[in-house]
Structure 1
């Protein structure tokens, strides 16, 4: 099972995923700064090390620089966290989740129709 990461660790992963799944330290910092999420070098390096320990990243050397490569894709992480959320909050009941999205106007009628269309198309592939 893919474990959850802290909010800032997730921002680091997003920066790496945005770079086709591999980035140098400078590229990660550039993405963070462009989002208005600055942090000290020590914090970033420490959290990148933690992500390596958790199995989310691999590090390799390019000259004197470190290249961080994602071992968990964005899609894999989203799917795992969605499943965890669904089980934890809705006890696996997708219908209740969708009802909440509709009742709280968190999904528009058009988005709902797109989801239904997507589901029907996926069913047709089987």
Structure 2
């Protein structure tokens, strides 16, 4: 599998909009489904960059471009999760969870969910 590059926040927001829609999508679809108030030219720039990076395929039909994701949301999430844990926690998931716990970011419900998830993974 080729290396998936980390996306800047704006390009990630565009990809999240595309992943939430039924592809293929247009630039106007993306512009309507992001929480940002980007101009059409900005959205087109982001879409162009994402095509260059291999995240999207662009197909022209008449005067309209249609964009289809080449990398799925789950695939990107898995890669980013691994990278995050490696960069910030030395590759240790335990250190990540301990850090969240020490910061008071885990509720009892979160801990119960984690425990149930880990128990299910062990089976």
TM norm structure 2: 0.90
Q: Distance in 2 between matches of 1:115 and 1:22?
A: 36
Change (3 A) 1:115 1:20: farther
Kept in 1, the 8 Å contact 2:30–2:43? The answer is no
Runs of 4+ in structure 1 off by over 6 angstroms are: none
2:76 corresponds in structure 1 to: 77
Alignment deviations for residues 33-86 of structure 1 (CA, whole Å, 9 cap, x no partner): xx2x11122211111111011111011133431111111111111111111111
In structure 2, stretches of 5+ residues that fail to align are none
Partner SS, residue 69 of structure 1: strand
In structure 1, stretches of 5+ residues that fail to align are none
Aligned length: 121
Change (3 A) 1:100 1:21: farther
TM norm structure 1: 0.88
Deviates more, 1:5-14 or 1:101-110: 101-110
Change (3 A) 1:107 1:62: farther
Question: Structure 2 matches for 1:1-126, cutoff 5 A?
Answer: 1-32=3-34, 35=35, 37-124=36-123
CA-atom RMSD in angstroms: 1.4
Partner SS, residue 100 of structure 2: helix
Q: Distance in 1 between matches of 2:117 and 2:82?
A: 19
